Structure formats: C-alpha cells, structure tokens
Amino acid sequence: MEKEKKDAPNRELSFVTGGEVNIRQDPWWWLVVVVIAVVILLVMLQPVPFKDIIVFAKDGILVTIIVTVVSYFLMLILGLFGGLGRLSNNKLVFGISSLYVEVVRGIPLLVQLIGWYFASPVIIQKLGLWTGIEALIQYRANPIITAIMAITVCYGAYMSEIVRSGISSVPRGQMEAARSLGMSYFQAMRYVILPQAFRVILPPMGNEFIALLKDSSLVSVVAVADLTRRGREFMSAHFNPIETWLMVALLYLIMTLIAARVVSYIEKRSKYER
C-alpha cells in the first residue's frame, strides 16, 4: 500500500513528461468525435446531397491522403539532405543547398505546381528533340507524380531549415565528444546528433504535415482528382455550392484534426526533461 502511494506521483508525472500517454487523456479527441457526428447527422437527415457528395468524393479522399503521405516522406528525405547541406563546411554543397532553400521558399506553391505540370513537359520534350530520344519526345506529365514532385521540392526547402535549426540547437560539445570516442562525422550525426535534434524538430515536423495536408488541395489545379477537385466537379454538376463545400470542408477538418491529435500523441511520447 505504502509503495503504491509513493508510485502514484510518478505515474501522474509520467503523463506530463511523456512517459505514458493515453489517447483518451487528450480532450481534443472529443472535437474529432463531434465533427464526425455532424457529418453522420447531415448524411442521415439529408442523404441527398450529403451522402452523394461523400460517395462521389471518396476516391478524391484517397488521392489526397496518398499525395500528402508520399510527399511528406519524400520531403523528410530531401529536407534532411538540405539541412545537412546548409551546415556543411564544403562551400559548393553549402552554396547549392542555400540557393535551393532561398529560391524555392520565395515562389508560391501554386506557381510551382503549375510550372511543374505545364512547363516541365515542354522542357523535357525539347530536350528529346535535341538528343533524338523518342521517349523524351513523347513525354506526358502524370498529374499525381508531378504534383508529388512539386510539393516535395517546395516543402523540402522549409524542412531543410527546420532540420538545420534542430541540428544547430544540439550543443557543439556533443559532436566533439562523439568524435573523441572514435566516431566518424557521419556516425556522430547518425547516433548522437540527429536523435537529439529529432526531439527538437518533431513539433514543427508535425505542423508541416498538417500544413501539407491542407495545401494538397492546390493540386486540383493540375488535373489531380483530389477531394477539392471532386467537390468542384460535384458542384458543377448539381449546382449546390453550400452543401458541397460544407461537406468538403468537414472532410478536410476531420483529416486535419486526426493528424493533429496523432502528432500531439507522438510529441508527448517523445518529450523529455532537459
């Protein structure tokens, strides 16, 4: 009994420090439940058009999720290399990484999407004419692949700065200590620096995922049949903008709220006392 009383404060503290996190202890999950309940209520009370919108847009929801998840993981890889490049002592690597970050961050994502979809095929086809390669001459842009590439390049620039700032937050003595133990630069980065930096950059990484999920709606301008494009097609066919965009907004809200709660859960599990 005495032991249980002594352990009780530790269990309470573990929730604060991230030792033990239960999803049910996050009250914001109730907001997710409420929004889902609103969608269900709308479908039950007025199947036409709300149920029809969901049925029509279900493939668009899948495309939105695929574009977001694939772009996010590719963005992490590109951001890692970009961030390391921004910290490199090699002037060429540093220069290329810095130029990439500064240029790409200065161009809106919508402009980049349009450029990748409409301009890149022309460039590739002209390159094919110069080289005589038939595959390049006949090249046609795949909307989903092109959208993923454009989002990856755009968000990779922002992630590069997040990674750079995270690595910079780790005390320099950590690298010196790792090198003194006989580790190479890459071993020290892999086993000592990056694990510590990850805890620092995890919150902005989660925010980037949520922002990317919302910005994925822009891919509808380059012929990607995502949730936004499906909503526009349904509205054009049935002339009911209020119901259509209300349901589309609620579906996006459900996805972003769930993503935010998952990110919050991971942050609490990864949290540690300094």
State the residue range of the domain holding 238. 29-38+47-170+199-269
17 CB-near residues (< 8 Å, 6+ apart): 271, 272, 273
pLDDT of residue 259: 93
State the Cα–Cα distance between residues 259 and 213, nearest whole angstrom.
Answer: 9
- pTM given for the model: 0.85
> 94: burial class by Cβ within 10 Å (0-12, 13-18, 19+)?
middle
Distance, CA of 142 to CA of 223 (rounded, Å): 9
Q: State the Cα torsion 216-218-233-118 to the nearest 10°.
A: -120
Residue 152 falls inside a structural domain: yes
Domain assignment present for 234: yes
Q: Is residue 209 part of a domain?
A: yes
Q: Answer yes or no: are the C-beta atoms of 89 and 165 closer than 8 Å.
A: no
User: How many structural domains compose the chain?
Assistant: 1
For 170, 184, 245, 251, 252, the CA distances from 85, given in Å and listed in that order, are 17, 17, 42, 38, 35
The reply to whether 4 falls in a domain is: no
Q: Are 49 and 244 in contact (CB under 8 A)?
A: yes
Measure the CA–CA gap between 14 and 37, rounded to whole angstroms.
Answer: 32
* CA triple 263-198-270, angle to 5 deg: 50
By CB atoms closer than 10 A (0-12, 13-18, 19+), residue 48 is exposed
The domain that holds 232 is classified in CATH as 1.10.3720.10
Query: Would you give per-residue pLDDT tens digits along the chain (274 residues)?
Result: 444 444 444 443 333 444 444 555 678 899 999 999 999 999 999 998 999 999 999 999 999 999 999 999 999 999 999 999 999 989 999 999 999 999 999 999 999 999 999 999 999 999 999 998 888 889 998 999 999 999 999 999 999 999 999 999 999 888 889 888 889 888 888 889 998 998 889 889 999 999 999 999 999 999 899 999 999 999 999 999 999 999 999 999 999 999 999 988 888 877 654 4
240 in a domain, yes or no?
yes
159 located within any domain: yes
Alpha-carbon span 212 to 67, nearest angstrom: 9
**19 lies in some domain:** no
Asked whether 83 and 157 are in contact (CB, 8 A), the reply is no
Q: Please count the other Cβ atoms lying within 10 Å of the Cβ belonging to residue 71.
A: 26
Q: How far apart are CA 161 and CA 154, in angstroms?
A: 12
- pLDDT at position 19: 41
Q: Within a 13 Å sphere around the CA of 122, how many CA atoms are in the beta-carbon half? A: 6
- Would residue 226 count as lying in a domain? yes
In the prediction, which pLDDT does 268 show?
81
pLDDT value for 272: 54
pLDDT at 14: 38
Question: What was the pLDDT predicted at 116?
Answer: 94
